[in-house]
Amino acid sequence: MLSFELDTRELNKIADEFGASEKDLRNAYSRALRRTAQIMKTRARKGLREELGLRNAAELRRRLQGFRFKRGKSLGEVRMWFGLNDMRVSAFKGRPMRTGSGAKYGKQDFPGAFVAKNSKGKRTVMQRVTGRAWPIKEAQMPIEDKAQTYIEDQVFDDLEEVFFKVFRAEVRARTLYGIGKG
């Protein structure tokens, strides 16, 4: 989970510039958080696909659904969560190879694993769940370190700039054009 502090003076300055009420400010803040989360999610998905060497973005799309902003106790605190659990080997580009100690996929070794076809007929790396022949499951590759580094360094470096641009547009729309007034 990443935590960000937004400058409340800047939020109030933008609200004062357009003469926004407290209700307009809170509504614009919530909507700007949602829109900023969507922008960050899209940027993360596009960049992580290349960074991790994934075949397609479908696996990441499922992962980043939990990617959301949660407003903290104060108006300026933002906490963000996203899923970085290990991913199935078949989601990555590459070919499984048999080795003397097990199997290999890309640069990752899986001792005790073997190459077999999955339910879709594609060759992948499988591992035994217990010491017996069955059940077996597809091997998983860790992504947490690489993904977290990429997200912190590449995706969120301009988070505040994106948020304040969206927030300014929201406050402007609510005050000048009456959007959101019911």
C-alpha distances (whole Å) from 12 to each of 33, 63, 85 are: 16, 35, 38
Q: Would you say 62 and 41 are in contact if contact means Cβ atoms under 8 Å apart?
A: no
The model's confidence at residue 107, banded by pLDDT at 50, 70 and 90, is: confident
Pairing mode of beta strands 2-5, 77-81 = antiparallel
Give residues with Cβ within 8 angstroms of 165, minimum separation 6. none
Nearest CA to 125 out of 136, 141, 114, 134 is that of: 114
**Which residue carries 């991913």 as its tokens?**
87
What is the percentage of the chain residues whose pLDDT exceeds 90?
19
The model's confidence at residue 170, banded by pLDDT at 50, 70 and 90, is: very high
Question: 93's torsion region: left (phi>0), alpha (psi -120 to 50) or beta?
Answer: beta
Measured CA to CA, the distance from residue 92 to residue 125 in angstroms comes to: 12
Each residue's pLDDT tens digit, 19-68:
888 888 888 988 998 888 888 888 888 888 999 888 888 888 777 665 55
> How far from chain centre, in Å, is Cα 10?
27
